[in-house]
A and B are shown apart, each in its own frame.
Chain A
């Protein structure tokens, strides 16, 4: 947490803005090369922006993405890669949907019912992430590898459970299979958005709450301090009395619990049942959003909105004869270029600060002091 000087703000913004501009240029070049007009593309997206519905949907996507990003960022802060947010979110959404839709739940008061659903999702997410934590602290298995494997296992488990013989039922009149529909007593009402029939997820407040808690825990609590210290230097953290194993377990469990929340806005706000149409890859979008937002609670909110906006305006591109995947390309380029840009800025900043301190104190340092 450094002081905000105009220069440091500018430096902080240089990387994401530069990456965005770079991605725009790359996409424009790709469009031009493939005989599509970049201007038409921007026009189609701008037109879509004018529809209130697009904005409402963008906010809804952003809510989901934000939760995924926070789940990822908790791990990132201590150099722990939770690649498994995807699997954790799907296991959690599936099982909590089955619980929320169960017949015995209809007698439970609405608030309690929603709370139970959400808590169940958090527990499932935490448990699935906990497997990776367990393997890491007891057997030294990289969480990257284990969560990749657990993601795939989750996919098969969910498709196994999502079967009329088990936790699902066929939806009448379609060949869609879903968990039993959550009736009105278990739903979270949406907020009307002016000019649109789409409602904004009521659980957007949950996302805001998670963001505030994330900020508070990281910057104001001992736990957050130890999390960051572990990420900055594992050996120094150990010497300071941090039990890194315990931190791995806690942060993985918390990350998994937040991952469990990822499916909740959609489940309780619009789908009312878990079906195969729940988007895959949310965990990876979470990684992208967390990277672009530099794990900062506000930064991630901004980048989640950007991501949601890009995804929802992309729908209008197909109509205009431009493959909507240009947006996916743009998102990929943003991720790659923004991390490269952050690295360059970081190197620049370290050098600049050393020089500044050197100047302020009128003394040059020997190389060993700088590089060792």
Chain B
């Protein structure tokens, strides 16, 4: 990772980027994952693994994570590390609560986004204009934002009908859409409990039934980000600020400007994530974000600083979240899944000649397998840690596949980049 600081240790994990994989490979991996899920469902009898309800819940949980991850992506692609995401999300939840209960969910979304932008601008002023270390500024924002949100909440929600010192009045939910006809058809197939087919139907039904417009907006934003950052001149310039600000500057790109714009976008997406959280849960509450900003960061790393990857990461973490809510038998099955994934990593690393890593991965995989077979349930308190454990495992066991922006986290001053 190129977060500023000591370079020691980086040389042990030189990037060995593989070839760009074709979309077919990704599709194949998705199908394979579903097959594994089906097998695990059959073995464990945990029908919740692929039920439409789980998928729906996973989607709802994933959207704020994906937005936080996207916020991290925009900032880091422009070379600014943003661990203030959590704080910016908090601002977003407050904004959504404030506007949402008065003028409806969409006003809430817009307000949450705007307050997030305020947080992003603060980070920009500190890191870009004043050259403050990115981590420090992020920490300060994480101290500042929850205080500010609670201050305002006490001011504005205490006397509002249905509100309190630490929570806003109710916000009505955003409209939801269902593809008519398809849903019931899929429900029938799902009920058959056929291997794979029913699982696929369950997943599809979850993705097409009662989908919030907010979720659709999130999908749009992720696809839009991919297009803007990788297919437009604007995106190229923004990314060049994270890859080599000196090169960008030498070609007349105003690095300060793009860093500012990226942080405005970063704040906006973090605010959006917070707003989604508040709107979909029906109100603003103090402490509502619960570390989701950091999970978003984890999703971004998991996704190798790419929109598709972070969406996958957010989906995965949202999925564990949903499973935790759905009872322990399903969660228990996750142990086996994790074990299998680790064994796959072990095989891949072995084939690329990293015997030691492969050994560690295999040992961990066996350990998770043993845990699965020797117990009947996972303590619910531990399930929440899954995204963080998975991210550490990815960083520890497959870091050489990751490609963070080269100059993310480094201070930049105009005219000094040589």
Residues of A within 8 A of B (CB): 30, 34, 78-81, 83, 135-146, 148-150, 152-153, 155-157, 159-160, 163, 230, 234, 244-245, 248, 281, 284-285, 287-288, 291, 323, 325-329, 331-333, 335-336, 339-340, 343-344, 371
Contacts and interface: CB of A to CB of B under 8 A. Distances in A.
B294 A152 contact: yes
Interface of B: 1-13, 81, 83, 122, 126, 130-133, 135-137, 139-148, 150-152, 154-155, 291, 294-295, 297-298, 301, 379, 381-385, 388-389, 391-392, 395-396, 399, 416
A155 B346 CA distance: 29
Contact of A323 (B10, B150, B396): B150
B6 A234 contact: yes
Contacts of B297: 145, 148
A126 to B, nearest CB: 18
B382 A157 contact: yes
Contacts, number: 184
Given A34-B155, A163-B381, A335 B5 contact: no
A160 to B, nearest CB: 4
Contact of A137 (B8, B384, B395): B8
A287 B81 CA distance: 17
A284 B142 contact: yes
A141 B8 contact: no
8 contacts: A137-B12, A145-B301, A145-B391, A150-B388, A153-B385, A155-B385, A284-B142, A323-B154
A225 to B, nearest CB: 17
A138 B136 contact: no
A329 B13 contact: no
Nearest to B1: A142
B126 A152 contact: no
Nearest to B139: A287
A135 B147 contact: no
Report the 6 A-B pairs with minimum CB-CB distance, sorted nearest first: A328-B147, A332-B144, A142-B1, A325-B151, A340-B130, A156-B385
A245 B8 contact: yes
Contacts of B81: 144
Contacts of A156: 381-385
Instruction: State the majority secondary structure of interface residues on A.
Output: helix
A140 B388 contact: no
Choose among B295, B382, B388 the residue with the greatest number of A CB atoms under 10 Å from its CB: B388
Contacts of A152: 291, 294-295, 384-385, 388
A130 to B, nearest CB: 14
Nearest to B165: A323
A288 B309 CA distance: 34
A336 B132 contact: yes
A129 B148 CA distance: 31
A244 B383 CA distance: 36
Given A152-B384, A339-B136, 14 more contacts: A79-B4, A139-B12, A141-B395, A142-B3, A145-B297, A148-B294, A149-B298, A149-B391, A160-B379, A160-B381, A288-B139, A325-B148, A331-B147, A336-B126
A371 B416 contact: yes
A336 B147 CA distance: 14
B384 A340 contact: no
A332 B140 contact: yes
B379 A140 contact: no
Candidate in A30, A155, A325 with the most chain B CB atoms within 10 angstroms: A325
A78 B391 CA distance: 26
Contacts of A244: 6, 8
Of A139, A150, A371, chain B has the most CB atoms within 10 Å of the CB of A139
B312 to A, nearest CB: 18
A141 B399 contact: yes
A163 B379 CA distance: 11
B135 A332 contact: no
B148 A329 contact: yes
